[in-house]
Amino acid sequence: MSTNPDRILRLKAVLDQTGLCRSTLYRKMANGTFPKNIRLSTRCVGWRASAIDDWLRNPMFIISPDKRICEPSQRSNLVSEIT
């Protein structure tokens, strides 16, 4: 077990960190160009801090759950795998 668990960031923190507006963030998620959120409760979602950090380092690529690097042409397949 890691001594430094992955933090969960709420929407405001993600928007502040990325500089995106809410509509752009959700549009990018729908297109598969931004990490998917995690449902925390009925009306609460968050994002893994490590996923946001990875996206900020290279927003052109997303790493799939099985650690494959997906190019833009492969993202639609990744989105369907995640959901």
User: What pLDDT sits at residue 56?
Assistant: 93
Tens of pLDDT, residue by residue over 57-81, are 988 766 555 544 455 444 444 444 4
What is the C-alpha to C-alpha distance for residues 48 and 63, in angstroms, rounded to an integer? 13
- 20-67 pLDDT per residue, tens: 999 999 999 998 899 999 999 999 999 999 999 999 998 876 655 554
Cβ neighbourhood burial of 39 (10 Å; 0-12, 13-18, 19+)? exposed
Residue-level pLDDT at 83: 44
How far apart are alpha carbons 40 and 67 in whole angstroms?
Answer: 23
d(CA 18, CA 69): 21
